[in-house]
Amino acid sequence: MHKQAIRTEKAAPPGGHYSQGMKWGELVFTAGQGGKNPATGEMASDIRGQTRQSLENIKAILAEAGTSLDNALKATVFLRDMGDFAAMNEVYTGYFPKDPPVRSVGQADFPGDMMIEIDIIACIP
């Protein structure tokens, strides 16, 4: 097996020296995705919008790798403010209505107006 970098213009471009995703065998690992819209370069203005855009970015990366959120195994969510947990979770739940992936949630200090970052590990069926 060899690793394969995943890149798509349908997700926000990396903000540093890293790949949007990495495929290895039947597994796909996404980099942490914030709420930046890849078409406009704008960050959503609230936690619900940033959560939605973060997950849309992840969907695009997974699609490029040949899988989807339906095959997500593990999610890691970082919030700037843990007080945003309920609002984030409301949006997040809509993306994983059945058999959601295991998940960890932590707090992080982000630059600028970034409120959330999510990464996913998924399998390719």
**CA 54, CA 32: separation in Å to the nearest integer?**
8
The reported pLDDT for the residue numbered 117 is 98
The reported pLDDT for the residue numbered 53 is 98
Which helix H or strand E contains 34, and what residues bound it? none
Query: Strand, coil or helix: what is 117?
Result: strand
DSSP state of 74: E
The reported pLDDT for the residue numbered 15 is 87
The reported pLDDT for the residue numbered 1 is 80
The reported pLDDT for the residue numbered 44 is 94
> CA Rg, the chain, in Å?
14
Per-residue pLDDT of the chain (125 residues; tens, 9 = 90+): 899 999 999 999 998 999 999 999 999 999 999 999 999 999 999 999 999 999 999 999 999 999 999 999 999 999 999 999 999 999 999 999 999 999 999 999 998 999 999 999 999 99
The CATH architecture annotation of domain 3-123 reads: 2-Layer Sandwich (3.30)
Domain spans of the chain?
A: 3-123
The reported pLDDT for the residue numbered 74 is 98
